[in-house]
Amino acid sequence: MQLFVALEVPAEVRENLASLLQSFRAVSPQIRWVRPENLHVTLKFIGEVPQTKLAEIRSALASVRSAQSVTLDFRGLGFFPNEKRPRVFWTGIAASANLKTLAADIDGATERLDIPREQRPFSPHLTLARFDPPRLPETLRAPIRENAARDFGSLRASQFHLIESKLKPSGAEYTTVESFSFAAAEA
């Protein structure tokens, strides 16, 4: 089973991004756009693991704690690695400092189970599309520029989720395996 750990995106943010994606899809339908229901903030990509390891992973994730919830503001648009050779199109995230710590703690908890640590520095973002080949169509340049500084909403999270990804002909399908409270919910 293929697994990852993520924060759920709130409905308001999802709806704002769904509207944006719909307008972008209309001008460039050939791009691999992420379906709005699949939007999430990845904290740790675990990858393919045997079902027999699931209980250990659950136990490791249940031990992760933070003194407070994390806050995220979704705004702006960008590319990995850059606009000249884009592979990933994303909306940025301005987050509380403890988001990076939370991701590192999850990475450490799973490393003890022989799941490799992330090699790249944690860079919070929401993937909106993937480019293959890495080329930005001319039809998208102006709409992206017009929305480059747009604010899509915010999130305060005290839970993260272990999610299973199944690849289907219609695209990836995500199922939440378990949710973990890492901080006391704040009123």
Mean pLDDT of 24-34: 93
Mean pLDDT of 124-140: 93
Domain residues for 176?
A: 2-181
pLDDT at 184: 82
Percent of the chain surpassing pLDDT 70: 98
Residue 174 in any domain: the answer is yes
Residue 173 in any domain: the answer is yes
Active-site choice (125, 126, 152, 182): 125
Mean pLDDT of 128-142: 93
Confidence bin at 186 (pLDDT 50/70/90): low
Residue 187 in any domain: the answer is no
Residue 19 in any domain: the answer is yes
pLDDT at 187: 52
Residue 119 in any domain: the answer is yes
68 phi, psi to nearest 5 deg: -150, 165
Residue 43 in any domain: the answer is yes
Residue 186 in any domain: the answer is no
Sorted by sequence, the CB contacts under 8 Å of residue 6 that are 6+ apart come out as 40, 41, 42, 43, 160, 161, 163
pLDDT at 2: 97
Helix (H) or strand (E) segment spanning residue 104: helix 98-111
Does 161 participate in catalysis according to the annotation? no
pLDDT at 177: 97
Active-site choice (14, 40, 44, 161): 40
Q: Which of 110, 94, 105, 18 is nearest to 58 (CA)?
A: 110
Average pLDDT, the chain: 94
Residue 167 to residue 152: CA distance in whole angstroms: 28
Confidence bin at 171 (pLDDT 50/70/90): confident
pLDDT at 62: 98
For residue 135 the two structure tokens come to 């080329």
* Torsion on CA atoms 124, 163, 51, 56, rounded to nearest 10: 60
Structure confidence by residue, pLDDT tens digits, 32-44 = 999 999 999 999 9
Report the CATH number at residue 72: 3.90.1140.10
pLDDT at 170: 80
Residue 136 in any domain: the answer is yes
The number of domains in the chain is 1
pTM exceeds 0.85, yes or no: yes
